[in-house]
Amino acid sequence: DQQVKQNSPSLSVQEGRISILNCDYTNSMFDYFLWYKKYPAEGPTFLISISSIKDKNEDGRFTVFLNKSAKHLSLHIVPSQPGDSAVYFCAATLSGSARQLTFGSGTQLTVLP
Amino acid sequence: ETGVTQSPTHLIKTRGQQVTLRCSSQSGHNTVSWYQQALGQGPQFIFQYYREEENGRGNFPPRFSGLQFPNYSSELNVNALELDDSALYLCASSWGTSGGAAGELFFGEGSRLTVL
Helix (H, G, I), strand (E, B) or coil at A109: strand
**Nearest residue on chain A to B110, alpha-carbon basis:** A43
How many Cβ atoms are within 10 Å of A105's Cβ, its own excluded? 20
Q: Please tell me the distance in Å from B27's CA to the nearest CA on chain A.
A: 17
Cβ pair B45:A101 closer than 8 A: yes
CA B64-A103-B69 angle, 5° bins = 40
Contacts of A6 in chain B (CB under 8 A): 42
Q: Please tell me the distance in Å from B106's CA to the nearest CA on chain A.
A: 7
Could you report the per-residue pLDDT of A19-34, keeping only the tens digit for each? 999 999 999 999 899 9
Nearest to B47 by CA among B29, B20, B69, B68: B68
Strand partners, A63: A58, A76
What is residue A112's predicted lDDT score, i.e. its pLDDT?
96
Band of residue B101 on the pLDDT scale cut at 50, 70, 90? low
Among A46, A91, A99, select the one facing B97 at the smallest CB separation: A99
pLDDT at residue B114 greater than cutoff 60 = yes
Give the separation between CA B115 and CA B110, rounded to whole angstroms: 16
CA dihedral over A30, B63, B93, B69, signed as positive or negative: positive
**Nearest residue on chain B to A1, alpha-carbon basis:** B59
Could you report the per-residue pLDDT of B27-85, keeping only the tens digit for each? 888 899 999 999 989 999 999 998 889 988 999 999 999 999 998 899 999 999 999 99
Cβ pair B42:A105 closer than 8 A: yes
Give the separation between CA A36 and CA A102, rounded to whole angstroms: 12
What is residue B102's predicted lDDT score, i.e. its pLDDT?
58
What is residue B27's predicted lDDT score, i.e. its pLDDT?
83
**Could you tell me if A105 and A99 are in contact, meaning their C-beta atoms sit under 8 angstroms apart?**
no
A12–B contact, CB cutoff 8 A: no
Could you report the per-residue pLDDT of A55-107, keeping only the tens digit for each? 999 999 999 999 999 999 999 999 999 999 999 999 999 877 667 899 999 99
pLDDT at residue B100 greater than cutoff 70 = no
Band of residue B105 on the pLDDT scale cut at 50, 70, 90? confident
pLDDT at residue B99 greater than cutoff 70 = no
**Could you tell me if A12 and A110 are in contact, meaning their C-beta atoms sit under 8 angstroms apart?**
yes
**Nearest residue on chain A to B99, alpha-carbon basis:** A98
Stronger pLDDT, A98 or A5, i.e. the higher one: A5
Contacts of A9 in chain B (CB under 8 A): 40
